[in-house]
């Protein structure tokens, strides 16, 4: 994993200044390429985290012997040895890297080479033969890639801060700010900056240097439910076992030590099962305080992880997380590295685990993504419940939903269930968009009112995904793949790369994803509401029964515990800051705080989004020198 940056312009910019801001993504070495093409300056920069072939032969930018094609690349191609044998027997290689395989594979197959790749990647290819720069991003958006095209300049980078160094006057988008507070992440391909975009997952971007023309096309659009998997259910569990085992074992390829995130949940435990005979692998687990768990109304991950580690003889190490880490300083540190703002309490524990793991493991495997493709979230159960409610007469379903809406979320026992039942009742009559409201973290109505703007664009966004006559689970899957999953992959990449650690996600192997998306809903979530059914049945008898049957516990900071005291809320949320913007409704923000503290509502996710924006905005205003100072801390 690495950092890449570059620009093409009639003006010469500080390319080194762009690349040095990505040093945390590649602390092992840095390389640059400069040239003049069609009267324009071309710059490509790379910072390297050495994972495969640790020698200088693996340095980037890398080019063909005739210098016709030049590459900078971030990621890993797990099947590169297979591709080398299949297509490139006649080529002479000077390294054992996957980078060199990509370089020659493009020469051999053109842009169709991308269909052959199994991996996580963001690639920039400069082709001097056609005077084009091509950007390629992996199917699921595991590796980040941003671009800007303004004032006759085209530029790209692994992180926004690198582009912001080129265009420090980039304007903020108020529409994106409102979207951020609703989704806790800017959805789609926009960012908080008006002229900086994400290259969509599964896409190829093409920049014509002579014509100053930029185009984007999709090369991978997964089929959702269109062609159900053929075969008996037991045959499908065996197929899932085999493809998942292959995905995990492919991701052990490295010339450096490998570790895992082991939460004690189904997904990470499945990965641990397939590598249980590798005693050299160290497993890390976040451990919450019992007081925090009680206030959260959730269960402990560490108990199950410890139980399995003892059974299999795993090297398991705990990292304690809690309110003590929820300081402005620590939040700011993770937001600096996150850069493309998200408000997710999982960032801090991910950062903390990676910080400790880097001493022993330069690669970390995670079970991320399984919940989205196998229907493992509580929102999926609410969606199923809504379909059952629809079968009831209105005089029964509507009063029941109304009673649920009046449930006090922060009071009494069974807090997690109270939160979900309240959300179910509040949005049951919203129409097909209710499924999106169930999926979004926090209360969508309260979130929309943080900003003094029309909520029309938010509703249009949801309506675009949730069509009245379509299967709601197909719509929900598409919505989460484009939004919630991308957000999760985003923070996972950033928090690990902040510590010079590469993250790998076996469930995001495109073969596993394509398999899961074609399964009928009943194989993933049973009619009785059992989530991830086929994955549980696949691992039955292989994992301890307690892990198969346990209740899901979220991985993240105990936000409800942190925001349970007035003192902590007032310490973290600076209302004076929000008074400085015309588009914030500070009266509503104060109301959110009050209803949260009195237990009538659970607004912890919105409060964290407010704190995150306020701290991110301060970082956004800092100079490059201050960025460098923050980046050097660990």
Task: Tell me the per-residue pLDDT of 230-273, one tens digit each, with 9 for 90 and over.
Answer: 678 999 999 999 999 999 999 999 888 999 999 888 999 999 99
Same domain, 164 and 300: no
Backbone angles phi, psi at 67, to 5 degrees: 65, 20
pLDDT of residue 171: 87
- Cis status of the peptide bond prior to 324, with omega within 30 of 0: no
CATH at residue 59: 3.60.20.10
Q: What is the pLDDT averaged over residues 514-542?
A: 95
Check if the beta carbon of residue 510 is closer than 8 Å to that of residue 220. yes
Residues in the chain: 634
Considering the domain architecture, whether residues 526 and 553 belong to the same structural domain is answered as yes
What pLDDT is attached to residue 51? Answer: 75
Choosing from 557, 573, 592, the residue where a domain stops is 557
- Of the residues 525, 557, 589, which one is the last residue of a structural domain? 557
Secondary element (H or E) of residue 489: helix 484-497
Is 140 within 8 Å of 210 (Cβ atoms)? no
Count of C-beta atoms within a 10 Å radius of residue 618: 15
DSSP E strand boundaries for 100-251: 119-127, 132-137, 146-150, 153-157, 197-198, 203-208, 213-218
pLDDT at 300: 62
User: Are 258 and 294 a contacting pair, CB within 8 Å?
Assistant: no
Q: Indicate if 499 and 553 belong to the same structural domain.
A: yes
Q: For the chain, how long is the longest CA-to-CA vector?
A: 76
- Specify the higher pLDDT residue, 251 or 1: 251
Average pLDDT, the chain: 90
Report the percent of the chain where pLDDT is more than 90.
69
Q: Are residues 19 and 128 in the same domain?
A: yes
pLDDT grade, residue 28 (50/70/90)? confident
Q: How many domains does the chain have?
A: 2
pLDDT, average across residues 521-548: 94
CB 3 within 8 A of CB 498: no
Tell me, yes or no, whether 597 lies in a domain. Answer: no
Considering the domain architecture, whether residues 89 and 213 belong to the same structural domain is answered as yes
Residue at which a domain ends, from 557, 575, 593: 557
Grade residue 628 by pLDDT with cuts at 50, 70 and 90: very low
Task: Give CA–CA dist 423/438, Å, rounded.
Answer: 7
Q: What is d(CA 266, CA 300) in angstroms, rounded to the nearest whole number?
A: 13
Residue 568 in any domain: the answer is no
Q: Same structural domain for residues 165 and 257?
A: no
Asked whether 161 and 125 are in contact (CB, 8 A), the reply is no
On whether residue 122 sits in a domain, the answer given is yes
Tell whether 140 is covered by a domain: yes
pLDDT at 630 over 90: no
d(CA 176, CA 284): 35
- Quick one: pLDDT band at residue 36, thresholds 50, 70, 90? very high
Asked if 211 and 244 sit in the same domain, the reply is no
Beta bridge pairs of residue 71: 62, 125
The answer to whether residue 485 scores a pLDDT higher than 70 is yes
290 pLDDT higher than 80? no
Rounded to an integer, the average pLDDT of 370-376 is 96
Q: 50 and 161 share a domain?
A: yes
Helix, coil or strand: residue 505:
coil
Residue 386: pLDDT over 50:
yes
Same domain, 73 and 26: yes
- Report yes or no on 22 lying in a domain: yes
Report residue 81 as tokens.
């040895």
**Do 134 and 206 meet the contact criterion of CB atoms below 8 Å apart?**
yes
**What's the Rg (C-alpha) of the chain?**
24
Conformational region of residue 414, where left means phi above 0, alpha means psi within -120 to 50, and beta covers everything else: left
Task: Supply the pLDDT for residue 328.
Answer: 77
Do 270 and 318 have their domain in common?
yes
Contact 24, 337 (CB under 8 A): yes
Query: Is the model's pLDDT at 403 over the cut of 50?
Result: yes
The two three-digit tokens of residue 477, written as one number: 């899957």
Which pLDDT score, from 0 to 100, does residue 325 have? 64
Question: For position 326, what pLDDT does the model report?
Answer: 67
Residues in a beta bridge with 523: none
Tokens standing for residue 609:
């989004």
Under DSSP, is residue 399 helix (H, G, I), strand (E, B) or coil?
helix
pLDDT tens profile 569-617: 988 999 999 999 988 999 999 999 999 998 888 899 999 999 999 999 9
Task: Give the model's confidence band at 556: pLDDT under 50 very low, under 70 low, under 90 confident, else very high.
Answer: low
Of 104, 96, 100, 1, nearest in space to 54 by CA? 96
Tell me the per-residue pLDDT of 443-472, one tens digit each, with 9 for 90 and over: 999 999 999 988 888 988 899 999 888 999
- Let me know: does 397 contact 434? Beta carbons within 8 Å: no
Q: Please give the residue that has the higher pLDDT: either 171 or 163.
A: 163
- Provide the Cα torsion 327, 331, 336, 342; round to 10°: -160
Convert the pLDDT of each residue in 319-371 to its tens digit. 887 666 667 788 888 899 988 999 988 888 899 899 988 889 999 999 999 99
User: Where in 360-458 does DSSP place strands (E)?
Assistant: 363-365
Q: Average of pLDDT values for 138-160?
A: 96
Question: Hunting for tokens 């209360």 — which residue is that?
Answer: 443
Query: Cβ(42)–Cβ(34) under 8 Å?
Result: yes
Range with the lowest mean pLDDT among 66-75, 130-139, 406-415, 622-631? 622-631
My answer on whether 174 and 268 are in the same domain is no
- Tell me what pLDDT residue 629 has: 38
What residues contact residue 412 under an 8 Å CB cut-off, 6+ apart? 418
Residue 380 counted as domain residue: no
Q: Omega into 61 within 30° of 0, i.e. cis?
A: yes
Does any domain span residue 203? yes
Domain residues for the domain of 113 are 2-179+191-218
Tell me, yes or no, whether 116 lies in a domain: yes
pLDDT for res 576? 93
Q: Does residue 151 sit in helix, strand or coil?
A: coil
d(CA 33, CA 260): 35
User: If pLDDT is split at 50, 70 and 90, which confidence band does 29 have?
Assistant: confident
Residue 540, pLDDT > 90, answer yes
pLDDT at 37 over 70: yes
* Three-state secondary structure readout of 524-576: HCCCCCCCCHHHHHHHECCECHHHHHCCCCCCCCCHHHHCCCHHHHHHHCCHH
**Residue 565: what pLDDT?**
84
SS3 label, residue 186: coil
State the pairing for strand pair 2-9/40-48. antiparallel
Spatial distance between the Cα atoms of 186 and 589, rounded to a whole number of angstroms: 20
Q: Are residues 55 and 139 in the same domain?
A: yes
- Spell out the long-range contacts of 388-397 with Cβ–Cβ below 8 A and sequence spacing 24 or more: 389/428, 397/428
Rounded to 5°, angle at Cα 316 from 310 and 322: 120
pLDDT band at 634 (very low <50, low <70, confident <90, very high): very low
Residue 221 has pLDDT above 90, yes or no: yes
Which CATH number characterizes residue 516's domain?
3.40.50.620
């Amino acid at each position: 994993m690495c950092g890449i940056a570059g620009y093409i312009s009639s003006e010469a910019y500080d390319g080194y200044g762009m690349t040095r801001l990505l040093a945390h993504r590649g602390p092992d070495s840095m390389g640059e390429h400069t040239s003049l093409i069609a009267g324009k300056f071309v710059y490509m920069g790379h910072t390297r985290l050495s994972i495969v072939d640790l020698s200088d032969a693996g340095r980037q930018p890398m080019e063909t012997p005739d210098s016709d094609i030049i590459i900078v690349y971030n990621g890993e191609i797990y099947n590169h040895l297979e591709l080398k044998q299949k297509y490139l027997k006649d080529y002479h290689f000077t390294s054992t890297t996957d980078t060199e395989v990509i370089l020659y594979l493009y020469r051999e197959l053109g842009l169709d080479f991308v269909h052959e790749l199994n991996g996580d990647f963001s690639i920039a290819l400069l082709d001097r033969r056609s005077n084009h720069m091509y950007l390629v991003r992996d199917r699921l958006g595991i590796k980040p890639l941003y671009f800007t095209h303004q004032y006759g300049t085209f530029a790209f980078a692994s992180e926004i801060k690198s582009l912001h160094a080129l265009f420090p006057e980039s304007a903020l988008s108020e529409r994106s700010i409102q979207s951020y507070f609703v989704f806790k992440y800017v959805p789609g391909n926009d960012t908080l900056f008006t002229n900086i975009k994400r290259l969509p997952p599964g896409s190829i971007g093409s920049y014509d240097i002579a014509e100053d023309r930029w185009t984007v096309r999709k090369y991978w659009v997964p089929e959702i439910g269109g062609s159900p998997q053929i075969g008996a259910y037991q045959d499908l569990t065996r197929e899932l076992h085999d493809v998942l085992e292959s995905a995990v074992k492919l991701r052990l390829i490295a010339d450096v030590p490998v570790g895992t995130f082991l939460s004690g949940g189904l997904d990470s435990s499945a990965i641990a099962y397939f590598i249980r005979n590798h005693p050299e692998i160290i497993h890390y687990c976040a451990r919450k305080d019992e007081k925090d768990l009680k206030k959260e109304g959730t269960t402990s991950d560490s108990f199950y992880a410890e139980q399995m580690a003892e059974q299999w003889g795993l090297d398991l190490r705990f990292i304690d997380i809690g309110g003590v880490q929820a300081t402005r300083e620590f939040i700011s540190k993770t937001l600096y590295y996150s850069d493309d703002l998200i408000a997710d309490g999982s960032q801090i524990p991910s950062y903390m685990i990676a910080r400790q793991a880097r001493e022993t493991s330069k690669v970390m495997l995670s079970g991320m993504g399984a919940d989205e493709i196998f229907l493992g979230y509580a929102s999926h159960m609410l969606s199923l419940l809504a379909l059952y409610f629809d079968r009831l007469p209105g005089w029964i379903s509507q009063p029941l939903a109304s009673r649920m809406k009046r449930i006090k979320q922060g009071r009494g026992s069974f807090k997690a269930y109270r939160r979900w039942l309240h959300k179910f009742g509040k949005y049951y009559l919203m129409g097909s968009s209710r499924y999106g409201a169930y999926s979004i973290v926090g209360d969508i109505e309260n979130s929309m009112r943080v900003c003094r703007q029309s909520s029309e664009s938010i509703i249009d966004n949801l309506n675009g995904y949730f069509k009245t006559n379509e299967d709601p689970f197909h719509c929900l899957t598409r919505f989460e793949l484009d939004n919630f999953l991308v957000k999760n992959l985003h923070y996972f990449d950033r928090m690990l790369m902040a510590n010079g650690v590469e993250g790998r996600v076996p469930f995001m192997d495109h073969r596993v994803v394509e398999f899961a998306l074609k399964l009928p809903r009943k194989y993933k979530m049973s009619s009785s509401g059992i989530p991830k059914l086929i994955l549980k049945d696949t691992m039955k008898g292989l994992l301890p029964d307690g892990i198969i049957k346990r209740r899901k516990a979220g991985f993240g900071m105990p936000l409800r515990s942190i925001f349970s005291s007035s003192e902590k809320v007032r310490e973290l949320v600076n209302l004076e800051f929000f008074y400085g913007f015309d588009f914030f409704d500070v009266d509503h923000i104060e109301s959110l705080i009050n209803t949260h503290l009195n237990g009538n509502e659970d607004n912890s996710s919105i409060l964290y989004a407010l704190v995150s924006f306020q701290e991110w905005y301060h970082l956004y205003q800092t100079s490059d020198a201050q960025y460098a100072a923050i980046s050097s801390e660990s």
